[in-house]
Structure 1
Amino acid sequence: MRPAMTFSALALLTLAAQAQPALERGKYLMEGIVACGNCHLARGPQGQPLFEKGLSGGLPFDEPVFMAYAANITPDKVTGIGNWTDAQLGKAIREGMRPDGRLIGPPMPIEYYRHLSDADLAAIIAYLRAQPAVRNAVPKSSYKMPLPPNYGPPLQSVQAPPRSEQLKYGEYLANIGHCMDCHTARDERGMPVPGRVGAGGMEFKGPWGISVSRNLTSHESGLKSWSDAQIARAIREGVDRQGQPYKPPMAYPFYKNINDADMAALISYLRSLAPVANGGKT
């Protein structure tokens, strides 16, 4: 029996070693560019993070066309995702479909998460599995607008561009970080305004008052006169060129963890956006 036991122990160690890079990548993504905690982290009445409750959700999104609540995405088996398989969790994140067949509505940015590569999706799932289970029942979201039947055809396999292709990889990061989900103005139906991608102008109401997403395009009213260092500082620290703080809800506490190579790729992509007149300033 000893050889079998030794083999089993080695197999477990091998699996653990293989899982570690995925978990590290998941931590980097979740606590960086993807920033799921910006919505799913439990919060107090003034919007303050309740770190002891982890990603147990509950943050309300009160909009004219919906009343949504961030879901509990901890491994709790009663109120969270503890009973979901990896495949079900992946389908929910990347295709917006719950295990029971119901569609996940806004503000979950499914159209951007569809760009998540297979490897990064697996890394995020590994990270979620490693979080403490927190019992927190979240109200169901309700919508006054019809939801689409789906967010596109079923995805088979998605690969990220190579990091050596800086512009394409920067676009990939902007997609999985759903930057344009907030930095593009929307019409009364909540749909992105055509021709204004990245031009800002979307309003956000919260305990901080009202903030308006700024223009990220290369227009004069956008980032044209900003240096790369100023853009990086704004993303990581949440301050403008004069050092004045921006208001929430941009995920500065998460974006500070974006490494230099990824930040350079992201800025490269932002520089490539066609100039569009100002849509707003936070």
Structure 2
Amino acid sequence: MLDRGRYLVGGIAACGNCHTPKGPDGKPIADRELSGGAPMDSPVFHAIPANITPDPETGVGKWTDAEIVDAIRNGRRPDGTLIGPPMAIAFYRDMSDEDVKAIVTYLRQVRPVVNKTDASTYKIPLPPSYGPPVTHAPDVVRDDPVAYGRYLATGLGHCMDCHTPRVKGRADMARIGAGGNDYSAPGGGTVTSPNLTPANPDGIAQWSDAQLKTAIREGLRPDGSRLVRLMAFDWYENVDDADMNALVAFLRSLKPAK
């Protein structure tokens, strides 16, 4: 369970891409793992990724396993308050029982770091909930690469949270993968998530599988240019070959969407 949790947190789930502070080079600071990341801004929120180390006063050390699971899958803290975006609760609701427990197992053994983080602020009201509470989600079979790849890109990772257009703040799953969301880029400026479907004539449909894997793992396009470091390359480089093949199979299955 610990090995699975370590693999997920250090790979496709990429929790540290938000929750771990980074140095001037954009790389995660190893001895501050999951102790709270840099503020994230959008037109509707100023979000401060929380300290999720086991520190009892400033982290999640006093939370029960069930409370951490509830926070990940249902976006609910132990005090009843809702966790807002950019936490991809709408996708994490599908995280399987075994995988969410594995992540909690890993979080329990992370080095506690004392770091009190401020509360996030929102310019729009948060919903009362993300839907009926999820109390059970089965494993996704791995012998169907497209189905398992979809799970990697949604329930475990949050690829489709960034790369799917939103309508009234919610992902428009009828156009899954069509991109179009704007984000503040590291160092200033704005970056727009690209359309990953075949409707984009200059998109990944023109790339080989090897080129697509290089882009995900290394942030390098086929033309040699680099993707913006919002992508969690320092974590995705740890995704194993079987999972990467499934992820690519899912991306290849996306329907054209404008």
Give the TM-score taking structure 2 as reference length: 0.93
Offset at residue 46 of structure 1 (A) = 7.6
Alpha-carbon shift at residue 47 of structure 1 (Å): 5.2
- CA separation in 1, counterparts of 2:76 and 2:116? 20
Identity %: 52
Report deviation, 1:272.
1.0
Between Structure 1 and Structure 2, how many residues are aligned? 255
Which SS does the other structure have where 1:211 is aligned?
A: strand
Aligned equivalent of 2:94: 115
> In the alignment, which residue of structure 2 is the partner of 1:13?
none
Matched with 1:159 is: 138
Alpha-carbon deviation of 1:128? Answer: 0.3
Q: CA deviation at 1:48?
A: 5.1
Partner of 2:157: 177
Residue of structure 2 in register with 1:7 after alignment:
none
Q: Distance in 2 between matches of 1:230 and 1:47?
A: 23
Other-structure match for 1:246:
227
Unaligned regions of 5+ residues in structure 2, if any? none
C-alpha distance in 2, partners of 1:77/1:197? 39
Query: How far has the Cα of 1:217 moved from its partner?
Result: 1.0
The one-character-per-residue Cα deviations of 1:154-209 (angstroms, maximum 9, x if unpaired) are: 1121112211111111111111211111112346x544357432112222223333
Runs of 4+ with >4 A deviation:
44-48
CA-to-aligned-CA distance 1:101-144 (integer Å, 9 cap, x gap): 00100010001111110000111001100100000000011111
- Partner letter of residue 235 of structure 1? I
Give the match for residue 75 of structure 2. Answer: 96
What are structure 1's unaligned runs of at least 5 residues?
1-21, 278-282
Determine whether 1:106 maps to 2:85: yes
Quote the RMSD (CA, aligned, Å). 1.7
Greater shift, 202-211 or 244-253, is seen at 202-211
Cα deviation code 1:85-108 (max 9, x no counterpart): 000000001110000000100010
CA distance in 1, matches of 2:185, 2:25: 9
In 1: Cα distance, 2:98 partner to 2:22 partner: 30
Larger Rg: 1
Change (3 A) 1:152 1:85: same
2:195 is aligned with 1:218:
no
Separation in structure 1 between the aligned mates of residue 43 and residue 197 of structure 2, nearest angstrom? 28
Question: Alpha carbons of 1:41 and 1:196: their partners in 2 closer, same or farther (altered >3 Å)?
Answer: same
Rounded to whole Å, the distance in 1 between the matches of 2:241 and 2:173 is 32
Of 47, 50, 57, which aligns to 1:68?
A: 47
- Range 149-158 or range 112-121, more displaced: 149-158
- The answer to whether residue 183 in structure 2 is matched with residue 204 in structure 1 is yes
Alignment partner of 2:47: what SS? Answer: strand
3-state DSSP class of the match of 2:204?
Answer: coil
TM-score, normalised to structure 1, is: 0.85
**Contact 2:12-2:235 within 8 A present in 1 as well:** yes
1:44 Cα deviation after fit? 4.9
Take 1:180 and 1:58, find their aligned partners in 2: how far apart are those partners? 21
The aligned runs of 1:231-242 (5 Å cut-off) are 231-242=212-223
Match of 1:8 in 2: none
